[in-house]
């Protein structure tokens, strides 16, 4: 199964669904227009009531959001995808490079492993039909004792081939599950991005209203966080593939020794497929660490401001206590000096 073509199909599905967000611009314009009316009227009336000059700059916010709503597919989505897509392409190139190296080294390792089996007369008949027939011919006339020996050779050869078949079947199954887990992550990512993109104009329209501006920050943070699921999963794949490359290189170095007898088991490659399957379920969490999708930007600013206010208040209170202490000390010293002068008289 070609999983690369399935990932490309998801990319094309996302591109095909993007124009649908234009159908929400009409509703978003109505929401934003009504919100802009109250937004501007409240600030103008407050300035008039306080007999202050009207600050025009904050009043431009609804117009900027309205412009983004009108050209949402191009201005908002086009800009964000143009900025984030190089990250996806860079991580995917890492994966392709590591997979190419792994395929070349695996083919070399398998060839050296077969040559190592053929060098050893005791194991050559396990991997070569010619060596197996040649060993039977060297036994000469077949008697009852030879029949038992040949039966043992057949059993040993069948056990070796069965072990290889079982290991390959388990390896292929876990590799299938590994790629399927990556495809699940990519499918969920595409679905969430399509939902965020189609309903994005509505979010921009709601953000015009007072008290709901945080929805705009939350939408951006969630879109970026979900978009980064694919780069994070690609980095995980590249990491696991690189580890397999290093293990295959180690096997090749060992097989270069003529006296080395290879082990037919490849269980350690299977373990890394299990690690990768579990690791794919951690991708949304890791992407959430990169971009706080829960409104962490606003919380961070609020916490910083609160910390600064508490620090200033503590400094002010400490200054008052210090001034009071210094005043009491000076008064005490002054009283003692005055008393001493009076006694001297």
Only one residue has tokens 């860079």, namely 90
Nearest to 69 by CA among 203, 196, 214: 203
Residue 201 backbone phi and psi in degrees, to 5: -60, -35
Note down pLDDT in tens along the chain; length 345 residues.
567 778 788 888 888 887 777 778 888 888 888 888 888 888 888 888 888 888 888 888 888 888 888 888 888 888 898 999 899 889 988 888 888 888 888 888 878 777 766 665 555 555 555 555 556 555 554 555 555 566 666 666 666 667 767 777 887 888 888 888 888 888 999 999 999 988 888 999 998 888 888 888 889 999 999 999 989 998 998 998 888 888 888 888 877 776 666 665 567 777 878 888 888 888 888 888 888 755 444 444 444 345 434 543 554 454 454 445 545 545 554 455 445 444 544
Q: Round to whole Å and give the CA distance between 205 and 32.
A: 4
Beta carbons of 185 and 287 less than 8 angstroms apart:
no
Core vs surface per residue 239-259: b (16+ CB within 10 A) or e: bbbbbbbebbeebbebbeeee
Core vs surface per residue 64-95: b (16+ CB within 10 A) or e: ebbebbeebbeebbeebbeeeeeebeebbebb
Question: 3-state class of 282 per DSSP?
Answer: coil
Nearest to 69 by CA among 236, 254, 206, 215: 206
Beta carbons of 234 and 92 less than 8 angstroms apart:
yes
* Number of Cβ within a 10 Å radius of residue 139: 13
Only one residue has tokens 């800009």, namely 79
Extents of the domains making up the chain: 22-290
**pTM to 2 decimal places:** 0.69
């Amino acid at each position: 199964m070609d999983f690369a073509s399935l990932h490309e199909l998801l990319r094309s599905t996302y591109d095909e669904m993007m124009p649908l967000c234009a159908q929400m611009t009409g509703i978003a314009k109505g929401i934003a227009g009504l919100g802009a009316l109250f937004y501007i009227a409240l600030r103008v009336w407050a300035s008039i009531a306080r007999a202050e000059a009207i600050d025009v700059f904050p009043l431009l916010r609804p117009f900027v959001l309205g412009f983004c709503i009108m050209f949402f597919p191009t201005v908002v989505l086009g800009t964000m995808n143009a900025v984030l897509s190089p990250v996806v392409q860079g991580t995917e190139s890492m994966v392709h490079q590591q997979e190419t190296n792994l395929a070349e080294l695996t083919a070399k390792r398998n060839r050296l492993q077969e040559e190592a089996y053929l060098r050893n007369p005791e194991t050559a008949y396990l991997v070569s039909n010619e060596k197996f027939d040649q060993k039977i011919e060297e036994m000469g006339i077949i008697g009852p004792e030879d029949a038992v020996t040949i039966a043992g050779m057949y059993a040993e050869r069948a056990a070796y081939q069965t072990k290889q078949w079982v290991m390959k079947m388990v390896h292929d199954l876990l590799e299938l599950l590994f790629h399927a887990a990556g495809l699940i992550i990519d499918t969920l990512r595409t679905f969430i991005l399509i939902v965020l993109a189609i309903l994005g104009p509505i979010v921009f329209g709601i953000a015009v209203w007072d008290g709901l501006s945080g929805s705009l920050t939350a939408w951006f943070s969630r879109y970026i966080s979900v978009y980064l699921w694919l780069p994070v999963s690609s980095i995980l794949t590249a990491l696991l593939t690189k580890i397999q490359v290093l293990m295959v290189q180690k096997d090749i170095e060992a097989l270069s020794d003529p006296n080395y007898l290879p082990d037919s088991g490849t269980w350690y490659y299977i373990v890394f497929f299990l690690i990768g399957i579990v690791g794919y379920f951690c991708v949304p969490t890791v992407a959430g660490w990169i971009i706080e999708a829960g409104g962490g930007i606003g919380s961070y600013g609020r916490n910083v401001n609160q910390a600064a206010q508490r620090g200033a208040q503590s400094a002010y209170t400490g200054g008052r206590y210090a001034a009071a202490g210094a005043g009491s000390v000076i008064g005490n010293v002054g009283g003692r000096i005055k008393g001493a002068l009076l006694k001297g008289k």
